[in-house]
Amino acid sequence: MPALKNPKHEAFAQSVAAGMPASQAYIKHVSRAGNCSNRTAEVTGSKLQNISEVSLRISKLKKAAGDMADKKWQLNRETWLERLEGLATKAEAAEDFSASTKALTEVGKASGWYEPEKHELTINVTIGGNTAEE
């Protein structure tokens, strides 16, 4: 996606994509000479962030940054999990069980082990002689 036509909105999107809160990005790039209240910046920055083209631009910038980080670190899901496993093993060997547990927790999250279990329930209800299934 090309840069936004409004240069203030583009600068706002780049700052938010880089991790700056929307309110701060609004004050820095959009408000007149940074002259607005914090409350105005919070409300207006949030609204600007949720405009479809701005939101899409922020997403594209974040994805591009993530792709660059993946290339720089040569990371993919498999190598990331392998590194976490290695960290857990080293931490355990050093008897740093807190660090080991944290690394293993991240492995579990990435593997979907912390997803809530799904259960289906079928109930037959009889009302006045008629049976209805829900």
Beta-carbon contacts of residue 54 (< 8 Å; ≥ 6 apart): 4, 9, 12, 13, 48
Is pTM, for the whole model, over 0.75?
Answer: no
127: exposed, middle or buried (Cβ count in 10 Å: 0-12, 13-18, 19+): exposed
Please state the rounded mean pLDDT for residues 24-32: 90
Going from N- to C-terminal start, the domains of the chain cover 7-71, 76-134
pLDDT digits (tens, 9 = 90+) for 77-91: 788 788 888 999 999
